[in-house]
């Protein structure tokens, strides 16, 4: 989120932002996008917008009562409840420090000068079963499968469909939920479940104490809140017990005694690890070009695209978009070339034109700040690793360690430092970007 914000600020300063047609993001980058697009024509007044976002990130954040009210709203207003709702209200709010209730259709009515936003995620079943198209995108106009080409109007995403027609309308997802959907890195059941359950338990223990301190023991809601958290803690312990081969029966009795309403739904979702579940808008349609699994499913699960490829190449490579230049700002943890190499592999499998990606062996541990990959008929790809030998010197590993994936909200100093480092990658290479743009224009002319 912070890395993209610093990059956008510098793109604006060097006069390149108004040349960008699409802004596509994965995971935390979508959190930045959601913040930017709250503001009418944000790209024309980016310094003021940036200052407002940074001030919010340094602020006190969302109260528990506000977050809990949001959770209840999610629970009550739609048919399908999942851990993504809990993640949005109770976790994402602690990082982004707001409950953004705008919708994409509302936002786009305010935009006329900004890049077209593309928020990306993946279809969990397609990823795990290796069938169909896992790449899913949401824009102000439509939601659907990037490579397959099957879409529905964005305001109807999540509604129940039958043979291509809306059977039961559901509310349009808001931006807080969208950020949780795109930033749900814990959602994949193939990850280390024991590690995840322990993280949830640690979070709940900390959050329970914070909640009771904030609301007070005498508050009329305190007893059920306390019991609700105990249920969730017991369920976390129960799953850890099973994974460690211990008898969970005592915890099972405790859970059954205390379960109520929302808490029961959360527990069910935790037990089955249900994230991002929505009605399948392709249900019972007849189309030979759509995989049978998508036509038969009544519901699909969506999750963080970073679990498959931590960069949104699939969305920008849609043939209808006719892209000539991709600026890949890579904020991934670990191998800074994994995403661009993964994109090349994906394109070979999908018969998309993409340049060959060759990385000098000496750059694997000490990446530079600017790479250009070109191929006949393929889009030019500029790849910029966040931490590199130019902006970090010989302290690359120190910077990576400081900004590891699993940590709490950044301090004001960390936000400032990261924005500066990310911004250097733009200012140091602005002339090279212009050179590549001119080369493409020359070829087209």
What is the tens place of the pLDDT at every residue in 127-163?
988 887 899 999 999 999 999 999 999 999 999 999 9
pLDDT confidence band for 123 (50 / 70 / 90): very high
Answer yes or no: is pLDDT of 267 > 80: no
Answer yes or no: is pLDDT of 223 > 90: no
Widest CA span in the chain: 74
Q: How far apart are CA 277 and CA 296, in angstroms?
A: 15
Token code pair at residue 333: 């943890």
pTM over 0.75: yes
CA of residue 337 relative to chain centroid, distance: 20
pLDDT at 178: 97
Token code pair at residue 407: 């940590």
Cβ burial, residue 358 (10 Å; 0-12/13-18/19+): exposed
Q: Would you say how long the chain is, in residues?
A: 445
pLDDT confidence band for 200 (50 / 70 / 90): low
**Residue 212: what are its φ and ψ, rounded to 5°?**
-70, -35
pLDDT at 442: 84
Q: What's the order of all strands across the beta sheet hosting 371-373?
A: 325-330, 380-385, 371-373
**Residue listed under structure tokens 């851990």:** 83
Q: Which of 277, 201, 219, 169 is nearest to 63 (CA)?
A: 219
Q: Are strands 116-123 and 299-304 parallel, antiparallel or unpaired?
A: antiparallel
Instruction: Count the helices and strands in the chain (H runs, E runs).
Output: 20, 12
| pLDDT, average across residues 63-74 | 88
Q: How far apart are CA 122 and CA 126, in angstroms?
A: 8
pLDDT at 67: 87
Contact 25, 32 (CB under 8 A): yes
pLDDT at 228: 54
Q: How far apart are CA 401 and CA 404, in angstroms?
A: 5
Answer yes or no: is pLDDT of 356 > 50: yes
Give the dihedral of Cα atoms 232, 234, 237, 239; nearest 10 deg.
-70
Q: How far apart are CA 232 and CA 219, in angstroms?
A: 21
Question: pLDDT tens across 282-335, in order?
Answer: 999 998 889 999 999 999 999 999 999 999 999 999 989 999 999 999 998 889
């Amino acid at each position: 989120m912070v890395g993209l914000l610093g990059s956008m600020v510098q793109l604006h300063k060097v006069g390149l932002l108004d040349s960008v047609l699409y802004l596509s993001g994965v995971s935390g980058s979508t959190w930045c996008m959601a913040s930017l697009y709250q503001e009418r024509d944000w790209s024309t007044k980016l310094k003021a917008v940036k200052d407002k976002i940074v001030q919010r990130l340094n602020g006190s954040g969302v109260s528990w009562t506000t977050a809990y009210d949001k959770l209840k709203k999610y629970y009550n207003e739609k048919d399908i409840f999942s851990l993504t709702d809990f993640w949005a209200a109770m976790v994402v709010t602690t990082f982004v420090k707001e409950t953004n209730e705008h919708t994409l259709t509302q936002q786009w009515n305010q935009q006329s000068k900004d890049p077209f936003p593309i928020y990306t995620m993946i279809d969990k079943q397609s990823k795990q079963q290796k069938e169909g198209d896992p790449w899913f995108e949401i824009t102000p106009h439509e939601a659907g499968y990037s490579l397959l080409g099957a879409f529905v109007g964005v305001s109807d995403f999540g509604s129940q469909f039958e043979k291509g027609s809306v059977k039961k309308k559901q509310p349009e997802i808001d931006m807080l939920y969208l950020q949780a959907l795109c930033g749900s890195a814990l959602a994949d059941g193939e990850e280390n479940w024991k590690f995840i359950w322990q993280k949830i338990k640690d979070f709940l223990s900390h959050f329970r104490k914070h909640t009771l301190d904030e609301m007070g023991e005498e508050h009329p809601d305190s007893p059920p809140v306390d019991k609700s958290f105990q249920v969730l803690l017991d369920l976390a312990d129960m799953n850890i017990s099973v994974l460690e081969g211990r008898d969970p029966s005592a915890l099972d009795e405790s859970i059954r005694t205390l379960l109520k309403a929302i808490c029961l739904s959360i527990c069910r979702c935790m037990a089955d690890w249900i994230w991002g579940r929505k009605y399948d808008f392709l249900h019972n349609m007849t189309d030979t070009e759509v995989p049978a699994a998508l036509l038969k499913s009544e519901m699909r699960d969506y999750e963080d695209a970073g679990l498959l490829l931590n960069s949104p190449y699939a969305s920008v490579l849609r043939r209808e978009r006719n892209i000539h230049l991709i600026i890949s700002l890579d904020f991934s943890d670990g191998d800074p070339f994994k995403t661009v190499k993964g994109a090349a592999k994906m394109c070979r499998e999908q018969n998309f034109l993409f340049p060959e990606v060759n990385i000098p062996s000496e750059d694997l541990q000490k990446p530079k700040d600017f790479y250009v990959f070109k191929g006949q008929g393929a889009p030019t790809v500029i790849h910029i690793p966040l931490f590199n030998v130019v902006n970090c010197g010989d302290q690359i590993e120190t910077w990576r360690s400081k900004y590891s994936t699993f940590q709490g909200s950044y301090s004001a100093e960390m936000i400032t430092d990261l924005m500066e480092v990310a911004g250097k990658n733009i200012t140091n290479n602005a002339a090279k970007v212009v050179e590549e743009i001119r080369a493409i224009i020359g070829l087209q002319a």
